[in-house]
Amino acid sequence: ILHLDSAMLMDGKLYAAHSNYPQWPMTSSIEIFDAETMAHIGTHRFGIRWGSLTWADWHDGHWWMTFANYDRLLGPGKTPYGHKANTVMVKFTKDYRPVQTWTLPKTILDRFEDMTNSGGSWGPDGYLYLTGHDPAELYRMRLPKAGSVLELVDIIPMNIRGQGIAWDRSQPGVIYGIIRATAKERAEGGGHKVTVFRLVEKP
């Protein structure tokens, strides 16, 4: 296990998005854990294909996942780690067969600076909610009626520092985020924090 980015809980199992970030070439997998014991009980390997897996969610009978690419310069050659414009969300069947893919609109890619989409979760209102790596924002998205670019509905300020999010499926309207501690905060004894919000559904 190298880089776990986010996870979702379903039927007593924790499905974690895993990649080899910042190594090259990018590889990704879903790592599955027993939610009670945290024992590792399964994996699905995507290998080298779309990028670094950052989030996964189960919605409407399918898996939805984003494979991230970055403009951040990494490696001995200091080249962009995949180019963020290549970030894609992929819809899969239950057994991980790809069905469709979408890219992200330039409007939100520009807000990610040299990083990209880190978190994602389908809301109770039928919209898809995304986060970046750092911005204190939640992006409400929808699938386009035509074409392959996700549509931005609105931007919601949120007291987070990017990264993973998760809707509480037992409490409609409640969403969790995190405030990732900086290196300075950790050196002073601080740690990461979980934040909880209640959002009003958009009509």
Write out residues in the chain with pLDDT < 50, as ranges.
Answer: none
User: From edge to edge, which strands make up the β-sheet containing 40-47?
Assistant: 3-10, 13-19, 28-34, 40-47
According to the model, what pLDDT value does residue 193 have?
87
Number of H helices, E strands in the chain: 2, 17
Q: Is residue 75 part of a domain?
A: yes
Check: CB of residue 117 under 8 Å from CB of residue 107.
no
| Residue 14, both tokens | 């924790």
CATH number of residue 59's parent domain: 2.110.10
SS3 state of residue 55? strand
According to the model, what pLDDT value does residue 70 have?
97
CA 158, distance to chain mean position in Å, is: 16
According to the model, what pLDDT value does residue 203 have?
54
Share of the chain above pLDDT 70, in %: 98
According to the model, what pLDDT value does residue 74 have?
92
pLDDT digits (tens, 9 = 90+) for 122-148: 999 999 999 999 999 999 999 999 999
Q: Is residue 108 part of a domain?
A: yes
Q: Quote the number of domains for the chain.
A: 1
What mean pLDDT, rounded, does the chain reach? Answer: 94
pTM: 0.93
Q: Is residue 203 part of a domain?
A: no
Q: Is residue 40 part of a domain?
A: yes
Domain of 91 in residue numbering reads as 3-198
